[in-house]
Amino acid sequence: MMTTDLPKRQFPISIDGRVSSREAESRGHAFLVTTSGEIQAPLRVLALFGQRDLMPTKILVECNGNQNRIMIEIQDLRHDDAGILAEKMRALVSVHDVELQPHL
């Protein structure tokens, strides 16, 4: 008897319609970042997403003389990975504050 081994796929929703724990971990996030007013500061923050081949769904930058406020929304990012990105942002010299919020 011949059998074919199909690759196992993980579906986010179980048979009874509940969301799996893996899907719950992989939701959208919003990063609210305050940096110095340097022109390169927002680019350094965005480069962290590029290094991981991640494309944010929304990016807003407000320049206010001596500081920049950046809002970045991204979907399908695990909470652990979002936390790592937030820590990497905090490690940048030009970053003053990073707030990570769940975003649906």
- Residue 65, pLDDT score: 86
HSE-CB at 41 with a 13 A cutoff on CA atoms is 25
pLDDT at position 38 over 70: yes
What are the extents of the domains in the chain?
38-103
The CATH code belonging to domain 38-103 is 3.30.70
Condensed to tens digits (0 to 9), the pLDDT of residues 90-101 reads 999 999 999 999
63 bridge partner residues: 68
Condensed to tens digits (0 to 9), the pLDDT of residues 75-89 reads 999 999 999 999 999
- φ/ψ region of 10 (left if φ > 0, alpha if ψ in -120 to 50, else beta) reads beta
The better pLDDT of the pair 54, 27 is held by 54
pTM: 0.74
pLDDT at position 103 over 80: no
